[in-house]
Structure 1
Amino acid sequence: MKKDKQKVLDEVWTEDHVRSFLNVRPHDESNEDFHMLLKAYQSMRASDFELFVRFFGEQNRNINAQDREGRTALEIISGHRRGGDYAAILQAAGAT
Structure 2
Amino acid sequence: MSLRKDKEKVLGEIFDEARIKTFLEYTAPAGVNTDFHLLEKAYRGMRGENFETFVKLFIEAGKDLNAVGPEGKTFLQVIKPHRNSEEYVIALEKAGAH
Please classify the TM superposition score into its range, dividing by the shorter chain length: 0.7 to 0.9
RMSD of the TM alignment (CA)?
Answer: 1.3
Task: State the 4+ residue runs in structure 1 displaced beyond 3 angstroms.
Answer: none
Q: Which runs of 5+ in 2 are unaligned?
A: 1-8
Superposition pairs of residues 53-68 of structure 1, within 5 angstroms: 53-68=55-70
In 1, distance between residues paired with 2:96 and 2:12? 28
Structure 2 vs 1, CA of residues 74 and 10 (structure 1 numbering), >3 Å: closer, same or farther?
farther
Q: Which runs of 5+ in 1 are unaligned?
A: 1-6
Aligned to 2:5: none
Query: How far off its partner does 1:9 sit?
Result: 1.7
Q: Which moved more, 1:20-29 or 1:38-47?
A: 20-29
In 1, distance between residues paired with 2:10 and 2:76? 27
2:10 alignment partner AA? V
In 2, distance between residues paired with 1:8 and 1:46? 14
Instruction: Indicate conservation of the 8 Å contact 2:49/2:87, yes or no.
Output: no
The count of residues paired between Structure 1 and Structure 2 equals 90
Query: How far off its partner does 1:11 sit?
Result: 2.2
In 1, distance between residues paired with 2:91 and 2:24? 17
Give 1:39's match in structure 2, choosing from 38, 41, 45. 41
Higher relative contact order (CA 8 A, sep 6+): 2
